[in-house]
């Protein structure tokens, strides 16, 4: 059984027991949460697709940790002008452990 959920503007394919890194959520580490935006649920040969979401489906997850990804360097340069800029960015994330998929 698996589901496709939407959180943080992105879609993720999840199964019970999976660890998924999503965009940072406003929840404490160790707390449980329900994700109501379930786009699709597949249970063997039975596939349910929402329009756009399945109203009765929810994915239960636990927040394992919060963190920041590796630094991404952003460099800008204009030739012959003496203009150079070097910046870095670390995207915050939350790690979720998927407990169950309710339909």
State which residues form the domain around 59: 2-102
Count of structural domains within the chain: 1
pLDDT digits (tens, 9 = 90+) for 27-53: 999 999 999 999 999 999 999 999 999
Number of Cα atoms under 13 Å in the Cβ half of residue 29: 7
- pTM score, two decimals? 0.86
Average pLDDT, the chain: 96
pLDDT in tens, the chain (103 residues): 999 999 999 999 999 999 999 999 999 999 999 999 999 999 999 999 999 999 999 999 999 999 999 999 999 999 999 999 999 999 999 999 999 999 8
Task: Count the Cβ atoms, other than its own, within 10 Å of residue 6.
Answer: 15
Q: How far is 71 from 91, CA to CA, in rounded Å?
A: 8
């Amino acid at each position: 059984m698996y589901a496709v959920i939407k959180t943080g503007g992105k879609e993720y394919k999840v199964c019970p027991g999976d660890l998924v890194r999503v965009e940072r959520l406003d929840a404490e580490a160790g707390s449980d949460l329900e994700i109501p935006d379930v786009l699709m649920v597949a249970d063997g040969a039975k596939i349910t697709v929402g329009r756009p979401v399945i109203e009765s489906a929810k994915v239960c997850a636990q927040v394992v940790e919060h963190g920041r990804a590796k630094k991404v360097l952003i460099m800008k340069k204009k030739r012959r002008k003496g203009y150079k800029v070097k910046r870095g960015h670390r995207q915050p994330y939350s790690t979720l452990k998927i407990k169950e998929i309710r339909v």
